Amino acid sequence: MRIAQVAPLIESVPPKHYGGTERIVSYLTEELVRAGHDVTLFASGDSITRARLIPACRGSLRLNKHCVDHLAHHLVMMDQVLEHARNFDVIHFHTDYLHFPVARYVPVPHVTTLHGRLDLPDLIPVYDRFRDIPVISISNAQRKPLPWANWAGTIYHGLPPDLFRFQPNPGTYLAFLGRISPEKRADRAIEIAKRAGMPLKIAAKVDRVDKRYFKRVVEPLLDASHVEWVGEISDREKDDFLGNAYALLFPIDWPEPFGLVMIEAIACGTPVIAYDGGAVPEVIKDGQTGFIAKNLEDAADAVHRVSEISRTHCRKIFEKRFTVTRMARDYVRIYRRTIDRRMRGLDRCIGLSRREIRANRPALENSKMMDAQLPS
């Protein structure tokens, strides 16, 4: 199958540091290539892939100090996609709703995976206007604000099975990994670790938009004796950081669409202590791969119960539910279904046209005769 993957340009594919969407696009792209598909990746020029790469800009945009308008580069990429569209059997967008106005005119089947939150009121008119665009959710919880959207399926994220090493022995610290923002609640993680009497290591990035929150809320808490600030880390560093942790803290305060770090942790065998929100109950099996908490007291108590969780069982559940092979297989199934529906739709249109021609043949013939009788 000839497949196009269209990635955001904010980070490279794969990202050098934080970047959940671009990371998933990379895993999926490489697995599809490995499975024998002809894959083209539209992404930033510093991306690394075995697929054919069509770059819309020289490098990823987040850390490019000279880039003021991210949208301009994405506009170039959308035109590139349209230019090459007829070379593909299916186009898979990962660019939120940015491409929706042109997607209706793409001459081949397409799908869009939505990677972000959908509970914002501003999104309602967008998805109402574009109800014909087939979209894929990354959890069932993600769909709840827009149950009437044109959902083609739910596909959980997956990781290469050899990306993270299984660590059978628990470490001596709690881990917080991700992004410093009000919804991720690093401040909660610091308080949970304090109540549990354990050290906490925080490996996180601080986006420009969150710098004020970091300075005002989180940074003053980093002076606590049980807290170690690690900063933003790479995939290579993430393996040791998560694998050597006693447990991962995921005390979110928002409807999490998926939570990639949770499956990264259980791939290492590390249990997860997460707040109940969004996709958390779909990803974490309470009492098997971690514990789901409702408040600080629950979370601190869960830390003392981590020894009840089998790290081997965590890894087995990861291998059963969250590998890239399973993810790619699920996407190919939706690609084929989308292509089949498009073909059936074309067949119906062709059949209708033929019926209309047969039904109106006498009128058409009379029209031809009249045309022939008209003076030149």
Averaged pLDDT in 10-residue chunks for the chain of 376 residues: 96 84 97 98 96 94 78 94 97 97 93 96 96 97 96 98 95 95 96 97 91 94 95 88 98 95 98 97 97 97 97 98 98 97 69 54 45 39
Contact between 245 and 174 under an 8 Å Cβ cutoff? The reply is: yes
Q: Which tokens go with 302?
A: 């869960």
Superfamily of segment(s) 174-322: Glycogen Phosphorylase B; (3.40.50.2000)
Delimiting residues of CATH 3.40.50.2000 domain(s) in the chain: 2-154, 174-322
Residue type (1 letter), 178: G
pLDDT tens digits, one per residue of 43-69:
999 999 999 999 999 988 777 778 778
Crossing angle, helix 20-34 and helix 324-359, to 10 degrees?
80
Q: Give the total residue count for the chain.
A: 376
pLDDT at res. 370: 37
- pTM confidence score: 0.88
2-154 CATH pick, 3.30.200.20, 3.30.1490.270, 2.60.40.10, 3.40.50.2000: 3.40.50.2000
Burial class (CB in 10 A: 0-12, 13-18, 19+), 155: buried
Calpha distance 251→80 (Å, rounded): 40
Of 54, 49, 62, 50, residue with least CA distance to 79: 54
Share of the chain above pLDDT 90, in %: 82
**Is 58 in contact with 50 (CB distance < 8 Å)?**
no
Q: What per-residue confidence (pLDDT) applies to 376?
A: 34
